[in-house]
Amino acid sequence: MGPTTTIRVATASPGTGPSRAATLSRLEALARRAASPPTAADLLLLPEAFIGGYPRGSAFGCVIGDRSAAGRDEYARYYDDAVDLGDTVGEGGAGAGDRWIRRELPAVAVVGAGDHADGAAHRHHGGGPPPARGDGTREELERIARETGVFVVTGVIEKAGGSLYCSVVYVCPREGIIGKRRKVLPTGTERLVWAQGSPSTLRAVSTTIRGARVNLAAAICWENYMPLLRQSLYAQNVNLYLAPTADGRDAWLGLMRTIGVEGRCFVVSSNMCVRDGDHFPQLQQSQSQASPAQTQTQYHPTSSQGTGLGRAGAAAAARRSSTITEEGFEIALPPSPQRHKRRKSVFDEDGNEIVLCCDADDENGTSPSAAAPAAVDGARQVNGTGTALPKLPTGTTAGAAAPAFASRGGSCIVSPFGDVLAGPQWEDDEGIIYADIDLRDCIRGRLDLDAAGSYSRNDAFKLTVQGLDMDPLPY
């Protein structure tokens, strides 16, 4: 009997904490929960910019041709909250690469630095001075992975020199950080505050988990919409494709399914679920100081445009009434220019109450449009879409308005054949979703499709990426 090829992967949709220490504590709690029986995951993916924060809705006081003093102060606070991993800027934003990973960079003497070491550094060094390079975050992440036994992949906002990079670190419980990459092209106005990373950081990493060879790499947010970037990862023979993101649109799941089929790889995506008003403190402070003209341009989480809610979110905002079952399911009654009358409620086989409505011209509720569904499986059909209505968050009372979300999450796990194995995880900032994956399914899938090999026609089509060795990693 050969070695196992099955591992358990997990992802979640947590929001950034109010401070770096709080975020690291949140990460550690998630890793410990993920590692606990009976779930006991081997790998945990967390969102883009989880440590350091995604500055959703902020303009940093910028318009074309002008930058405000308040916006510059806001950027300085955002910079302060970013992490220093002890890396360099490097050519084209490449950092120091393997020299940084192997800790070969020279020490940087900072007089008095030991007097200002943060709690993370003190815990790692027994109360001594901080590491010679960085602020101790690297060491704290390595400690969490080591103590929990979970391979952690997380987004971080990394500072090097005077610039910020949207980065992802791969943290092995045995070897520590074995790789780091920086987003090659920040999306839209992200370019205002994040520098471009080098494509050389797209190098995949390889490890062994539970005896299985895992080749993994991350594409960050809308990098996943870059076909050539995706191909650069497929060419490295990845069997675990990671997609930390800030995109909470319904269409994101379709992209993840496409990547699974296209690359014949497992895909894990993670996006923050952020409740309205839970932006991290420096944004709240700067927005409260903004002028009326600036305030008009701020992100508006209840708008149906730019929220990632799409038609479903716009419809939810327009709801007139709803009822809550004993199980915590919200049954929404659709709005109408006409007055609706409720029929007698019905219960499905699991005890979920379903309240039906009828047309105004049908006093007895016998209109075909209001007829009960032919079959009800659990609560899956109560909202007319084949999807279970989510339970209300803890502390929400029946009849209370549903909380607004700046980002709804949507974390998910997809197979090499495009099947959704877990998720999407909507409006849940506490839970963890899991899937057991057999990595040999990637090989099975390449019987008829190998985008970087037999199906690539690489005699006719060539892809080169400056500074990136795309030789395939072995299984």
Which one from 48, 139, 140, 223 is the annotated catalytic residue? 48
Distance between CA atoms of residues 417 and 447, nearest Å: 12
Cβ contact 448:264 at 8 Å: no
Which one from 159, 166, 183, 330 is the annotated catalytic residue? 183
Count of H-run helices and E-run strands, the chain: 11, 21
For the chain, the first-to-last Cα distance in angstroms comes to: 18
Distance between CA atoms of residues 330 and 307, nearest Å: 22
Residues 6+ apart with CB under 8 A from 91: 198
Distance between CA atoms of residues 286 and 76, nearest Å: 11
Reply yes or no on whether 48 is catalytic: yes
Cβ contact 243:256 at 8 Å: yes
Closest-CA residue to 123 (of 154, 108, 102, 144): 144
Distance between CA atoms of residues 171 and 238, nearest Å: 17
Closest-CA residue to 299 (of 48, 60, 80, 52): 60
Reply yes or no on whether 462 is catalytic: no
Distances from the Cα of 451 to the Cα of 231, 404, 413, angstroms: 8, 41, 20
Place of tokens 């990862």: 233
Cβ contact 246:271 at 8 Å: yes
Distance between CA atoms of residues 12 and 139, nearest Å: 23
Closest-CA residue to 77 (of 93, 64, 60, 65): 60
Task: Give the other-Cβ count within 10 Å of 69's Cβ.
Answer: 8
Neighbour-count burial of 339, counting CB atoms closer than 10 A to its CB (0-12 exposed, 13-18 middle, 19+ buried): exposed
Reply yes or no on whether 159 is catalytic: no
Which residues belong to the active site?
48, 183, 221
